[in-house]
Amino acid sequence: MAEPADRPQAQDAAEWLEADGLGAYASGAVDGVRTRRYHALLIAPRTPPTDRLVLVNGVECFVETAAGRFALTSQRYNPGVLAPDGASRIASFAHEPWPSWTYALPDGTGIAHELFVEPNSGECVLRWRRLSGPEGPCRLAVRPLLTGRDHGGLHRRNDAFRFDAEATGGNVTWRPYADVPAATALTDGAYRHAPLWFDNVLYTVERERGLPDTEDVASPGVFAFDLAERPATMVLRAGDGRATDAARHADDLAKLEKKRRKRFGSPLARSAAAYAVARGPGRTIVAGFPWFTDWGRDTFIALRGLLLATGRLDDARAVLLGWAAAVDGGMLPNRFPDTGAAPEFNAVDASLWFVVAVHDALDACAAAGRPLPARDEAELRDAAEAILDGYMRGTRFNIGMDRDGLIHAGEAGVQLTWMDAITDGRVWTPRRGKPVEVQALWINALAIAAARWSDRWRAPERLARDGFAARFPDPAGGLYDVVDVDGVPGTHDGRVRPNQVFAVGGLPFPVVEGEAARRVVDLVEAKLWTPLGLRTLSPDDPGYVARYRGDLARRDAAYHQGTAWPWLLGPFVDAWLGVRGRTGKAKRAAAARFLQPLMDHLDRNGLGHVSEVVDGDAPHHAGGCPWQAWSLGETIRIRRMLDLDI
């Protein structure tokens, strides 16, 4: 039987995230049942922030008292059996300052469990303690569950898996495969070697997404703790063991981590920090957890909210300088694959977003009284002007400036704009020609270069503005989404999409102003606005897809054909305020209508974060990535637009 349209799916369940500062993470569902292949406690990136390997998937826990033996955890097994019944004993959950659970056992015993990831080392700290209950025995048994596989893959029972354990001074180390980093548990418990396979563990979200969903996990042994005597501690780390006193080491990490988290000033600012990670000697931004790496387009869009709006100017500088060195043929790469393969230059807009991010960063540094050193600014200027020169001359994928001053782009089988879904070579929203937001970005990049660096950019800016004014206004209202469609001069795509909003808001220099801008904003609000994002296509369109569900092909077909994106609310709110004069009254109205639903969303799905996409139709179930960098970044930017604290 099909799910009713308004019935929540597994994707709507609340999930927690602990990022490690290296591009990896620990994550899971609030009820403790792993529903994604990405839910795990210890993941190690071999080439941060890529090539991430799951070392410890989770733990299976039981508590034994005088009244019997009770589970604290549950797993779901194919075809759908939940066992044991630990999830039913969760009495409460909190995700501040880190994930914490309380369990209520039938005999009145209360157990507290908490975990956090320390970002410098990537260590995952787990602690349990007895809160209440009758006197008598209270013994905890913890079985680590191991795989040693790619974080986006699945693992099956095999003879090559090595269960052998090395025990040294409270550390127990496993080396499941020769080419995978070791996993170590530092504990104050007693280890008993007892190898066991858990077969056919089912991940329900993967099943709903039409992906392989079942794996086998291995448990080399079990740790025993006496909670009647003292709390239990387990510290998981990649590599060999180091510390010898588990409780002291965990306490030291907890004290330092609490201080670090408090320094952010707010949960929102702390969530923003999760995406800024190391890449070699520099910094970059992970586009989203769990499966994204650092994408160029996402990095430059998200940077403005995650780093600039939160005052993390040194990180912003490091990110931009790191990417500046990657300019090639007038383009920046859009993606560094998780496999460590060569970067992919497959975006017409990513390089232009870089120029916008540089502009905003320079302004933010100057406003803070911390202007960039001349050498750094010169390096960013050289990269930005190399991009502009490359686009004027022409570069990959037929990207170049036409005689009307506008940018044309596109080749068959290549996805170049942010509407970039592709399945088995099929580009679902090709938008070949001259896309509207690309022109807005191009005009802004030229205006930035003219204002900051050289008058030689003023003539092409004027030409592009004139070309835009002549080509993009739609007599039926708003702006065309693409002109010269598929390279055919004089053609246009009049479907109502959100990309036109960038001509009015979201960028430093509006391309459309006055009454024309008001018409664009009103059209977008009427046709595309939802409380959690802008739809990618008007519901009036025969191609509209109401829900983001099903296998990969169905989801990609819906991705930009009606699915709503929270990050688009940033430019939309900026445009909405711009045509209303940015008055106090307008800001209060925007806060209630546009911001509050996003703030409410922080307590659902990816806790403390904003999802990648939501259904175009109510009730707007979340989908895609639960923790998305530009979604959170634009939420923070909206707060700044409305003069609200982060």
Residue 269 pLDDT: 97
Residue 185 pLDDT: 98
Average pLDDT over residues 195-219: 97
71: tokens are: 């589970």
**pLDDT tens digits, one per residue of 74-124:** 999 999 999 999 999 999 999 999 999 999 999 999 999 999 999 988 999
The 3-state DSSP class for residue 45 equals strand
The sign of the CA dihedral 200, 205, 208, 210 is negative
- pTM for the structure as a whole: 0.95
Helix (H) / strand (E) element for 164: namely none
Q: How confident is the model at residue 243 (pLDDT cuts 50, 70, 90)?
A: confident
Instruction: Please give the domain boundaries of the chain with CATH numbers for all domains.
Output: 10-263 (2.70.98), 528-646 (no CATH)
Taking alpha carbons only, the member of 281, 349, 356, 291 closest to residue 319 is 281
Average pLDDT over residues 169-174: 95
Three-state SS sequence of 297-350: HHHHHHHHHHHHCCCCHHHHHHHHHHHHCCCECCECCCECCCCCCCCECCCCCH
Taking alpha carbons only, the member of 567, 464, 544 closest to residue 496 is 544
Residue 281 pLDDT: 86
Residue 526 pLDDT: 98
Residue 337 pLDDT: 67
Burial readout 560-590 (b: 16 or more C-beta within 10 A, e: otherwise) = bbbbbbbbbbbbbbbbbbbbeeeeeebbeeb
CB 303 within 8 A of CB 311: no
**pLDDT tens digits, one per residue of 570-596:** 999 999 999 999 999 999 999 999 999
**pLDDT tens digits, one per residue of 272-314:** 999 999 988 889 999 999 999 999 999 999 999 999 999 999 9
Average pLDDT over residues 597-604: 96
What is the Cα–Cα distance from 240 to 186, expressed in whole angstroms?
Answer: 10
Residue 338 pLDDT: 66
Residue 12 pLDDT: 61
345: tokens are: 């230059």
Taking alpha carbons only, the member of 236, 241, 259, 284 closest to residue 21 is 284
**pLDDT tens digits, one per residue of 419-459:** 988 888 888 999 999 999 999 999 999 999 999 999 999 99
Residue 120 pLDDT: 82
pLDDT of 3 > 50? The answer is no
Please give the share of the chain, as a percent, with pLDDT higher than 70: 98
Q: How confident is the model at residue 180 (pLDDT cuts 50, 70, 90)?
A: very high
What is the Cα–Cα distance from 421 to 369, expressed in whole angstroms?
Answer: 42
Number of alpha carbons in the 13 Å side-chain half-sphere of residue 37:
25
**pLDDT tens digits, one per residue of 133-163:** 999 999 999 999 999 999 999 999 999 999 9
The 3-state DSSP class for residue 236 equals strand
CB 473 within 8 A of CB 479: yes
